[in-house]
Amino acid sequence: MATGAPVRDYFGLVLAKLKPIRLDLLLAVVLTSLTVATTVSQTGGGSGWAAYVVGALTVAPIALRQLAPVATMAVVLGALALYGVVEFGGLPSGGVGALIGMFTVATLRSRLVAALVFLAAVAVVVVAFLGLPGVVAWSEVAQSVLVVSGAWMLGEGTKRWARRAERLAQEAARATVKTHVKRMMGKLGLSSRAQAVVVAYESGLIVPTGSG
Protein backbone atom coordinates (compact mmCIF):
# COMPACT_ATOMS: atom_id res chain seq x y z
CA MET A 1 0.00 0.00 0.00
CA ALA A 2 2.90 2.32 0.71
CA THR A 3 4.31 2.03 -2.80
CA GLY A 4 1.13 3.14 -4.55
CA ALA A 5 1.42 6.83 -3.72
CA PRO A 6 5.07 7.25 -4.88
CA VAL A 7 4.24 5.51 -8.16
CA ARG A 8 1.24 7.76 -8.72
CA ASP A 9 3.31 10.81 -7.83
CA TYR A 10 6.03 9.75 -10.28
CA PHE A 11 3.63 9.26 -13.18
CA GLY A 12 1.84 12.46 -12.23
CA LEU A 13 5.15 14.32 -12.46
CA VAL A 14 5.90 12.76 -15.84
CA LEU A 15 2.46 13.71 -17.17
CA ALA A 16 2.90 17.25 -15.86
CA LYS A 17 6.17 17.59 -17.76
CA LEU A 18 4.59 16.20 -20.92
CA LYS A 19 1.50 18.42 -20.74
CA PRO A 20 3.05 21.45 -22.50
CA ILE A 21 4.25 19.28 -25.39
CA ARG A 22 1.39 16.81 -25.67
CA LEU A 23 0.03 18.54 -28.78
CA ASP A 24 3.52 18.37 -30.29
CA LEU A 25 3.64 14.66 -29.49
CA LEU A 26 0.29 14.11 -31.19
CA LEU A 27 1.34 16.18 -34.20
CA ALA A 28 4.62 14.26 -34.48
CA VAL A 29 2.80 10.91 -34.41
CA VAL A 30 0.35 12.01 -37.12
CA LEU A 31 3.03 13.49 -39.38
CA THR A 32 5.34 10.52 -38.91
CA SER A 33 2.57 8.12 -39.90
CA LEU A 34 1.72 10.19 -42.98
CA THR A 35 5.38 10.49 -43.97
CA VAL A 36 6.01 6.76 -43.73
CA ALA A 37 2.82 6.04 -45.69
CA THR A 38 3.84 8.55 -48.37
CA THR A 39 7.32 7.05 -48.62
CA VAL A 40 5.83 3.58 -49.07
CA SER A 41 3.53 4.80 -51.85
CA GLN A 42 6.28 6.72 -53.65
CA THR A 43 8.78 3.88 -53.58
CA GLY A 44 6.33 1.04 -54.01
CA GLY A 45 7.48 -0.40 -50.71
CA GLY A 46 10.83 -1.39 -52.17
CA SER A 47 13.19 1.07 -50.49
CA GLY A 48 13.64 -0.91 -47.31
CA TRP A 49 13.38 0.10 -43.70
CA ALA A 50 16.18 2.71 -43.94
CA ALA A 51 14.06 4.97 -46.15
CA TYR A 52 11.17 4.78 -43.71
CA VAL A 53 13.37 5.52 -40.70
CA VAL A 54 15.06 8.49 -42.37
CA GLY A 55 11.71 9.78 -43.62
CA ALA A 56 10.24 9.49 -40.13
CA LEU A 57 13.18 11.42 -38.67
CA THR A 58 12.27 14.41 -40.86
CA VAL A 59 9.15 15.00 -38.76
CA ALA A 60 9.26 12.89 -35.56
CA PRO A 61 11.73 15.17 -33.68
CA ILE A 62 9.23 18.05 -33.65
CA ALA A 63 7.70 16.34 -30.61
CA LEU A 64 10.58 17.89 -28.64
CA ARG A 65 10.74 21.21 -30.47
CA GLN A 66 9.83 23.30 -27.41
CA LEU A 67 12.40 21.59 -25.21
CA ALA A 68 15.33 21.62 -27.65
CA PRO A 69 14.48 23.65 -30.77
CA VAL A 70 17.98 23.83 -32.25
CA ALA A 71 18.73 20.14 -31.66
CA THR A 72 15.33 19.25 -33.12
CA MET A 73 16.04 21.30 -36.23
CA ALA A 74 19.51 19.75 -36.57
CA VAL A 75 18.07 16.22 -36.59
CA VAL A 76 15.32 17.20 -39.04
CA LEU A 77 17.76 18.87 -41.44
CA GLY A 78 20.21 15.99 -41.21
CA ALA A 79 17.46 13.52 -42.02
CA LEU A 80 16.25 15.66 -44.93
CA ALA A 81 19.76 15.87 -46.38
CA LEU A 82 20.28 12.12 -46.01
CA TYR A 83 16.86 11.43 -47.50
CA GLY A 84 17.63 13.58 -50.52
CA VAL A 85 21.12 12.21 -51.16
CA VAL A 86 20.81 8.52 -50.32
CA GLU A 87 17.24 7.83 -51.38
CA PHE A 88 15.33 9.35 -54.26
CA GLY A 89 15.48 13.07 -53.46
CA GLY A 90 12.74 15.52 -52.67
CA LEU A 91 11.23 16.65 -49.41
CA PRO A 92 9.11 14.09 -47.55
CA SER A 93 5.78 15.55 -46.41
CA GLY A 94 6.72 18.75 -48.21
CA GLY A 95 9.44 19.47 -45.67
CA VAL A 96 6.82 20.36 -43.04
CA GLY A 97 9.17 19.23 -40.27
CA ALA A 98 11.72 21.84 -41.34
CA LEU A 99 9.05 24.54 -41.51
CA ILE A 100 7.79 23.81 -37.99
CA GLY A 101 11.36 23.59 -36.73
CA MET A 102 12.31 26.90 -38.36
CA PHE A 103 9.29 28.62 -36.84
CA THR A 104 10.16 27.26 -33.40
CA VAL A 105 13.83 28.29 -33.56
CA ALA A 106 12.86 31.81 -34.69
CA THR A 107 10.35 32.05 -31.84
CA LEU A 108 12.42 30.66 -28.97
CA ARG A 109 16.02 31.51 -29.90
CA SER A 110 18.00 34.63 -30.82
CA ARG A 111 17.94 36.21 -34.25
CA LEU A 112 21.55 35.15 -34.91
CA VAL A 113 20.80 31.50 -34.15
CA ALA A 114 17.68 31.66 -36.31
CA ALA A 115 19.69 33.13 -39.20
CA LEU A 116 22.30 30.37 -39.01
CA VAL A 117 19.61 27.69 -38.89
CA PHE A 118 17.88 29.32 -41.87
CA LEU A 119 21.07 29.15 -43.95
CA ALA A 120 21.45 25.49 -43.05
CA ALA A 121 17.83 24.86 -44.00
CA VAL A 122 18.31 26.54 -47.38
CA ALA A 123 21.37 24.39 -48.08
CA VAL A 124 19.44 21.23 -47.19
CA VAL A 125 16.52 22.21 -49.44
CA VAL A 126 18.88 22.73 -52.39
CA VAL A 127 20.59 19.38 -51.73
CA ALA A 128 17.23 17.64 -51.53
CA PHE A 129 16.11 18.99 -54.89
CA LEU A 130 19.48 18.22 -56.50
CA GLY A 131 18.89 14.61 -55.51
CA LEU A 132 15.82 14.41 -57.72
CA PRO A 133 16.24 12.61 -61.05
CA GLY A 134 16.13 14.74 -64.18
CA VAL A 135 16.38 18.50 -64.53
CA VAL A 136 16.16 20.52 -61.34
CA ALA A 137 13.17 22.89 -61.26
CA TRP A 138 14.81 25.95 -59.77
CA SER A 139 11.45 27.68 -59.47
CA GLU A 140 10.42 24.97 -57.00
CA VAL A 141 13.70 25.39 -55.14
CA ALA A 142 13.10 29.14 -54.87
CA GLN A 143 9.53 28.54 -53.74
CA SER A 144 10.68 26.15 -51.02
CA VAL A 145 13.31 28.64 -49.83
CA LEU A 146 10.64 31.36 -49.68
CA VAL A 147 8.41 29.09 -47.62
CA VAL A 148 11.23 28.44 -45.14
CA SER A 149 11.95 32.17 -44.93
CA GLY A 150 8.23 32.73 -44.32
CA ALA A 151 8.39 30.34 -41.36
CA TRP A 152 11.38 32.30 -40.05
CA MET A 153 9.61 35.66 -40.37
CA LEU A 154 6.45 34.26 -38.80
CA GLY A 155 8.48 33.03 -35.84
CA GLU A 156 10.16 36.43 -35.44
CA GLY A 157 6.77 38.13 -35.55
CA THR A 158 5.37 35.76 -32.96
CA LYS A 159 8.33 36.44 -30.66
CA ARG A 160 7.86 40.21 -30.95
CA TRP A 161 4.14 39.87 -30.30
CA ALA A 162 4.76 37.73 -27.20
CA ARG A 163 7.27 40.24 -25.81
CA ARG A 164 4.89 43.12 -26.45
CA ALA A 165 2.04 41.23 -24.74
CA GLU A 166 4.28 40.54 -21.74
CA ARG A 167 5.31 44.18 -21.52
CA LEU A 168 1.69 45.36 -21.69
CA ALA A 169 0.71 42.85 -19.00
CA GLN A 170 3.47 44.16 -16.70
CA GLU A 171 2.41 47.75 -17.31
CA ALA A 172 -1.21 46.86 -16.56
CA ALA A 173 -0.16 45.11 -13.34
CA ARG A 174 1.83 48.14 -12.20
CA ALA A 175 -1.08 50.45 -13.01
CA THR A 176 -3.43 48.21 -11.01
CA VAL A 177 -1.13 48.28 -7.99
CA LYS A 178 -0.86 52.07 -8.15
CA THR A 179 -4.65 52.36 -8.35
CA HIS A 180 -5.11 50.16 -5.28
CA VAL A 181 -2.47 52.10 -3.35
CA LYS A 182 -4.11 55.44 -4.16
CA ARG A 183 -7.51 54.06 -3.19
CA MET A 184 -6.25 52.79 0.15
CA MET A 185 -4.46 56.07 0.83
CA GLY A 186 -7.68 57.93 0.12
CA LYS A 187 -9.63 55.74 2.53
CA LEU A 188 -7.02 56.32 5.23
CA GLY A 189 -6.97 60.06 4.61
CA LEU A 190 -3.34 60.07 3.53
CA SER A 191 -2.07 62.58 1.00
CA SER A 192 1.43 61.22 0.36
CA ARG A 193 3.35 57.98 0.34
CA ALA A 194 5.56 59.27 3.15
CA GLN A 195 2.52 59.48 5.39
CA ALA A 196 1.57 55.93 4.38
CA VAL A 197 5.02 54.67 5.39
CA VAL A 198 4.76 56.41 8.77
CA VAL A 199 1.34 54.88 9.41
CA ALA A 200 2.66 51.45 8.42
CA TYR A 201 5.53 51.75 10.92
CA GLU A 202 3.28 52.98 13.70
CA SER A 203 0.72 50.22 13.12
CA GLY A 204 3.39 47.51 13.12
CA LEU A 205 2.87 46.52 9.48
CA ILE A 206 6.55 47.32 8.90
CA VAL A 207 9.02 46.22 11.53
CA PRO A 208 12.12 48.46 11.57
CA THR A 209 15.41 46.62 11.45
CA GLY A 210 18.44 48.04 13.20
CA SER A 211 22.08 47.13 13.37
CA GLY A 212 22.12 46.69 17.07
Confidence of residue 47 (pLDDT cuts 50, 70, 90): low
Rounded to 5 degrees, what angle do the CA atoms 155, 158, 161 make? 155
Residue pLDDT, tens place only, 102-156? 999 999 999 999 999 999 999 888 877 766 655 566 777 788 888 899 999 999 9
Question: How many distinct structural domains can be found in the chain?
Answer: 2
Indicate whether 53 and 102 sit together in one domain.
yes
Indicate whether 176 and 163 sit together in one domain.
no
Indicate whether 38 and 23 sit together in one domain.
yes
Residue pLDDT, tens place only, 150-204? 999 999 999 999 899 999 998 888 888 778 777 777 777 777 767 767 766 666 6
Cβ atoms of 130 and 149 within 8 Å: the answer is no
Domain that holds residue 104: 4-167
**pLDDT for residue 84:** 75
**Distance set, CA 2 to CA 5, 8, 13, 103, 162 (Å):** 6, 11, 18, 46, 45
Question: In sequence order, what are the residues at sequence separation of 6 or more whose Cβ sits closer than 8 angstroms to the Cβ of residue 122?
Answer: 145, 148
Residues 30, 36: Cα–Cα separation, whole Å: 10
Give the residue with greater pLDDT, 38 vs 61.
61
Give a yes or no: residue 69 inside a domain.
yes
Cβ atoms of 154 and 102 within 8 Å: the answer is no
* pTM of the entire predicted model: 0.71
Residues listed for the chain: 212
Give a yes or no: residue 108 inside a domain.
yes
Indicate whether 127 and 195 sit together in one domain.
no
Cβ atoms of 59 and 32 within 8 Å: the answer is yes
Indicate whether 80 and 159 sit together in one domain.
yes
Helix 96-108 and helix 138-188, axial crossing angle in degrees, nearest 10: 30
Give a yes or no: residue 183 inside a domain.
yes
Residue pLDDT, tens place only, 1-25? 455 667 667 666 666 666 678 889 9
Residues 28, 104: Cα–Cα separation, whole Å: 14
